[in-house]
Structure 1
């Protein structure tokens, strides 16, 4: 974004206010004939504004002031000045303009003044302009004349050539900078705007003055800029990269306001985007380029591949220029970015080889021919990646899709979490514990009083926000793993499924973020349908199951035990998802496998307790780093009692009522809760209600028991889904409210 800074380039000379300080008739240059000269021109940084002062002092051929000086002011806001007819005593003069200016980068007038110089030969030019280019080369001219004893003409020509070469603009050096004007609409105008914009960037006016001083001092003695300054220009070029059209519009609008139509050529041609020392030769107007092939399937054993780019302009694998949002930190190398792995230097336990799973890949480009070498696969899973082709300005103009088959024979040892990884996972679970606790309270309150929630409810909004905070933090850790070993995918899939199962159970369709990059203030996703959410979760759980361990799940010892969930966790979640899809036949075998494994068992008590005991499959304790949580109260997520009753539900829907009744009778006896066995489904509902099991409302909703069991009016069953928070409706594009609720 633009700073509210002004940096100015054009000093204008206006209204005549001449003062002659000396009238010496001494001969300054034996070849110079003192004849009247009409001296006029423009001062442009953008143009200096009306009333800005411009002083002129004549110089002898050694650049020593002769003692004669003249002053005038700029006549109008286009930067024009006119001294009228003067009979000067020397052909050489130094013009200095001081005033407020128009900033073509941010489109506003400056808040402070800028001073620009020009050293000119009045015998060659009666129209002399003062601008950034004349300012930058003025000290260089003086140095070449006084220290290397060059004539003014030779010194001026050399300084002009050297200066424009620094910007890759040497082909425009034949025209003297004092003849350049923004209003000319030609290449000279393009050059002047480009260099002026490089000086302005998003610097404040004080920073512009300081930067101009640095540039003139560096250039004066060497005819070049330091390497550090050249890097700063590259950074500035990246900042300007996405703003050239706006700069062009700013200039046109400014002059239109002043009553002039000014043409501005395509400014992209006046920057050296690929750092080859020549501006504009790399520009390709095409929005994309053709490749000889766009998709390469790499076998598990790897291979070598060649792709031709169909263009006569240079293209790159790493862009020489990019588009940046700010030029404030000019010493930062353009294009660098902070990636998640920098925040997770110890994502994995100490000693983990984070490079062991990726096949060797080398990509090079020469004369628009891309060569790619891919080594044998080192992972069991397929790997997909993209080779982007950039033009000189950093725009992706083609993308080569690469995929390599996995090697199923590879053995992968999954490392434990390191310090950063454990802290990150613990942080995710703190958010998740808060969300589940709030969800359980909301569900219990509604089950008791059956009063609908409002979209303005703080509790509803807070519960929603906690779930999404847990998801966002989880996806950040997931991204860090993906950029390294990508070995935790099955466990991330389980956590993602748990969070979205909970969300969809209470809100139906929800925004479905699966990547950290999906999040953003201006990038809120609309709702994805409940069925699509559940189908995706089923897919990623089926993918995760083979890689999870067959064991009793332990989520309480430390972050590692909490993160590395068992197969049973995935089975239970997948079964619940199938139940919400009413796929009872698919859910039942998963639940029966959990029951037959024997890791969990029912406890003979009618107390409603949630503890880390034989009934707890997956629970959350806020103090996730506690070493010994056995027997401590926890927040229930997956409960064995719910598994047994959900199995009975599936048996009921598949016609196996005898077995379903066995599960119901077992639960009733263990918990000393009597039920009316005449209606199996309502018996299950009664047990779930009295045991205060998780996901009670989604059970009621999928079995259409809102009216017959809960006693809701037929027109109130919409309350089994909660309202989307009003804040999400206000800020989320395309967000819709659940039926029955107001905005």
Structure 2
């Protein structure tokens, strides 16, 4: 043991001797400085520089001129520690320069190239001297204040420290010198260091980081501030980091865990100046939501003035001072195709249409967390609903005021026809719906005709094609909906009817699906499933709101694009009835279906053949070609059925059955059988309806079987096969969307 201790002491002595021998200057650099031995050690963190990185130290006189003494050592471990041992220096001032690879806390990976960081320190004040981004950024400023402004090192260091942290709104942490900051401390100083370091890193390459550090250091050196352009760039970077702070904290903790250390990281959000008032963290509530004096306002037809109080002592905003950006360029670029309102909807409406938005005046302001809302008289026949979002300083929605203004039935609305862009876009959208409906009908028919029912595979291309055609159509409908909402807002009832149609057909075959009614680029890969009942409930509201603005007429899907787009009231009426049936609200569905029959626009064709043409039985159908491209007359066009009068009558009988009027239901079944020259040998009325649906190849066959629990008794499925009445979610969707779950049984 004595030999080991002796060898260790000798080694330390030799290292110290070697370091000291780098300079033989013995001049008294500072008459007040007494040359004594100093243990010089610390950390280099940008995150931490890795083991083996070189760190050089040169002593300086009080005017920042090198004294001639220099020392070199290397970082001992991957946490950035270095130790020069005991040094008897000839001046208290020193410049440390570290050069090495580092851990990037934003990306969570080690750098591919090296970086240099400086620190100017007073060795007489500190036994531990850390090198980090803050010491680097203020080094040139300290040197400038000493050499050009006659400041002492202590005065220059204190001023540079305060000025630098003030640039980031972090001045309250300026009392502790930056050379004492360390990521591993887990305190406010660590939070400050991580925040500023992350602002430098952002999404930059190593070369860009070096260039940016140089820019910041040079700007700060002579003025003690950054240029306005750099300040705006720092705000952009702050927004980029906004949604990544938890990940940055996790990256740091994970890195140190790999190295055998447990490091805590405080909430980094409190070290950024989100509201640009010059003070970081003072603008944040502990909770992500805030309470309002009222959340719902019912606005009368004549409008009015309203006041809402945000119950917090922190500032809230109508326009967020910060936001979450996907890049550090100030521009969020979403992936996907280039479908935009600008490129497709310059002529959404026909030429000559008055595109002035018929909306009531709306003026909203906030002052000292008091929201004032003025709403003018309504200019629409329909009720209008909108919301006012209340943002916290980070740009997150902390509360929402929902407003509804009653419509004025006396307001006249002129709905223009589609313009050139509108016709082209809607035409292709209807083409997509037609493809989806055709695929759905073929899949349903193929399954129904099997004697021994075999389930579809999640990898079946027909299943995935049907799924993605529906979503392609929905995405396009939402784009038109958004463009119209920003202009005349007159197409909403027709668009909502088609959106409801797509979602109704999807829920009929898949149950719950990803559901959105706001335009986004990549609809199916980022949204979890919404339950079938929840979707159907929302569809019922969409259709109920749409129906008053639809025309009472026979629907025509085939004359031209405009006739196909401007669906009649019966389309929404039938669709709403089907939604109610799937919700098993038979009493609500029945009067809607009876109204369709009583209107007299449609009738049964006396034929036992299954014909899908544009005839009196077709309420809504789709060609399998883009509209306006076929030369045959509208009456000759064959179609893929979607809403069919035969099915309306059969569903009416179903509702009569479930509401207790089995006799009338049987009369209706007998009427259909007679018209179609079909004989049904079923004593049970519901079974008779099922048999007719099967023989007539009625649309929506499987959803009828599922809602009436006829999979076993009518279709002959075993109990463990009834899951097959819903199709599998496409495997490609499950693979690309981690938030989605597969249907049971697949």
TM-score by length of 1: 0.81
Task: Name the CA distance, whole Å, in 2 between partners of 1:183 and 1:312.
Answer: 33
- Matched with 2:727 is 724
Kindly state the Cα deviation for residue 387 of structure 1 after the two structures are TM-superposed.
2.7
Verify the 8 A CA contact 1:99 1:114 in the aligned structure 2.
yes
Q: Does the CA-based 8 Å contact 1:648-1:663 persist in structure 2?
A: no
> Are the aligned partners of 2:514 and 2:524 in contact in 1 as well (CA < 8 Å)?
no
Conserved 8 A contact 1:511-1:525: yes
Specify whether residues 718 and 480 from structure 1 end up closer, same or farther in structure 2 by C-alpha distance, changes over 3 A only: farther
Structure 1 CA distance for aligned equivalents of residues 234 and 126 of structure 2:
31
The Cα shift of 1:379 comes to 2.0
Please, which moves more after superposition, 169-178 or 24-33?
A: 24-33
Q: 1:504 to 1:291 in 2, by over 3 A?
A: closer
2:312 aligned with 1:307: no
Equivalent residue number for residue 655 of structure 1: 664
CA distance in 1, matches of 2:678, 2:98: 97
Return closer, same or farther for 1:348/1:200 CA change in 2, 3 Å cut-off: same
Inter-partner Cα distance in structure 2 for 1:289 and 1:108: 37
Q: CA–CA distance in 2 between the matches of 1:358 and 1:114?
A: 58
| Shift of residue 185, structure 1, vs aligned partner | 4.8
Distance 2:333 2:525 in 1: 24
Deviation at 1:234, TM superposition (A): 1.9
CA distance in 2, matches of 1:273, 1:180: 23
* 1:223-267 deviation per Cα after TM superposition (whole angstroms, max 9, x unaligned): 222223222222332343344455445545655665666565444
**What is the correspondence of 1:145-156 to structure 2 with a 5 Å cutoff?**
145-148=146-149, 150-156=151-157
Q: CA deviation at 1:83?
A: 2.8
Distance in 2 (CA, whole Å) between partners of 1:420 and 1:602 is: 37
CA–CA separation in structure 2 for the residues paired with 1:705 and 1:80: 73
Indicate how the Cα distance of structure 1 residues 333 and 314 shifts in structure 2: closer, same or farther if over 3 A, else same. farther
The 3 A distance-change label for structure 1 pair 220 and 691 is: same
Separation of aligned partners in 2, 1:399 and 1:132: 40
Give the structure 2 partner of residue 133 of structure 1. Answer: 134
Query: How many angstroms apart in 2 are the aligned matches of 1:143 and 1:311?
Result: 44
2 CA distance for matches of 1:699 and 1:286? 47
CA distance in 2, matches of 1:732, 1:252: 26
Q: Hey, what does 2:561 align to over in structure 1?
A: 559
Distance 1:649 1:726, change over 3 A: closer
Q: Which residue of 2 is the match for residue 525 of structure 1?
A: 529
CA contact (8 A) 1:302 1:375 kept: yes
CA offset at residue 484 of structure 1? 4.8
How far apart, CA to CA, are the structure 1 residues paired with 2:492 and 2:71? 77
- Judge conservation of contact 2:203–2:328 (CA < 8 Å) in 1: no
- Measured after TM superposition, the shift of residue 410 of structure 1 is 1.9
After superposition, the Cα gap between the structure-2 partners of 1:732 and 1:196, relative to the gap in structure 1 and judged at 3 Å, is closer
User: Residue 97 of structure 1 aligns to a residue in which SS?
Assistant: strand
Change in Cα spacing, 1:578 to 1:83, as seen in structure 2 (3 Å) is closer
- Within the candidate set 488, 491, 516, 1:488 is matched to 491
Q: Counterparts of 1:432-581 in structure 2 under 5 Å?
A: 432-446=433-447, 448-456=449-457, 457-482=460-485, 484-503=487-506, 509-511=511-513, 513=515, 515-516=517-518, 520-525=524-529, 527-529=531-533, 540-574=542-576
How many Å apart are 1:375 and its aligned residue?
1.6
How many residues align? The count is 709
2:160 alignment partner in structure 1? 159
Query: What's the CA shift for 1:135?
Result: 0.7
The C-alpha deviation readout for 1:196-232, integer Å capped at 9, x for no partner, is 2222234333332222122112222332222232222
Correspondence 1:178-217 to 2 at 5 A: 178-217=179-218
The reply to whether residue 97 of structure 1 matches residue 98 of structure 2 is: yes
Q: Measure, in 1, the Cα distance between the counterparts of 2:54 and 2:578.
A: 80
Shift of 1:85: 4.0
Match of 1:622 in 2: 624
How big is the shift at 1:127?
3.9
Q: Kindly report which structure 2 residues correspond to 1:314-333, keeping only aligned pairs within 5 A, or say none.
A: 314-324=315-325, 326=326, 328-332=327-331
- The residue aligned with 1:593 is 598
Question: What is the match of residue 70 of structure 1?
Answer: 71
**Per the alignment, do residues 469 and 721 of structure 1 end up closer, same or farther by CA in structure 2, a change over 3 Å counting?**
farther
The answer for the alignment partner of 1:114 in structure 2 is: 115
* Contact 2:478 2:517 (C-alpha < 8 Å) held by counterparts: yes
Report the TM-score, using the length of structure 2 for normalisation: 0.80
Are the aligned partners of 1:340 and 1:479 in contact in 2 as well (CA < 8 Å)? no
Instruction: State the secondary structure of the residue aligned to 1:555.
Output: coil
For 1:492-545, what per-residue CA distance to the aligned partner results, in whole angstroms no more than 9, with x for missing partners?
3432443355445556x443735247955353315425xx76676566445433
Matches within 5 A, 1:255-404: 255=256, 264-324=265-325, 326=326, 328-332=327-331, 345-346=345-346, 347-349=348-350, 352=353, 356-404=357-405
- Distance, in Å, in 1 between the alignment partners of 2:740 and 2:439 is 26
Query: 1:181/1:466 Cα in 2 relative to 1: closer, same or farther (>3 Å)?
Result: closer
Taking a change above 3 Å as real, the CA distance of residues 442 and 240 of structure 1, as seen in their structure-2 partners, is closer
Q: Aligned-residue CA RMSD in angstroms?
A: 4.4
CA gap of 1:158–1:700, structure 2 versus 1, over 3 A, is closer
Q: Please list every run of 5 or more consecutive structure 2 residues that lacks an aligned counterpart in the other structure.
A: 1-14
Kept after mapping to 2: 8 A contact 1:44/1:181: yes
| Structure 2 counterparts to residues 401-416 of structure 1, below 5 A | 401-416=402-417
Q: 355-364 vs 646-655, which deviates more? A: 646-655
Aligned partners of 1:520, 1:442: CA distance in 2, in Å? Answer: 21
Q: Which is worse superposed, 365-374 or 645-654?
A: 645-654
Query: Gaps spanning 5+ residues in structure 1: where?
Result: 1-14
Contact 1:344–1:480 (8 Å) recurs in 2: no
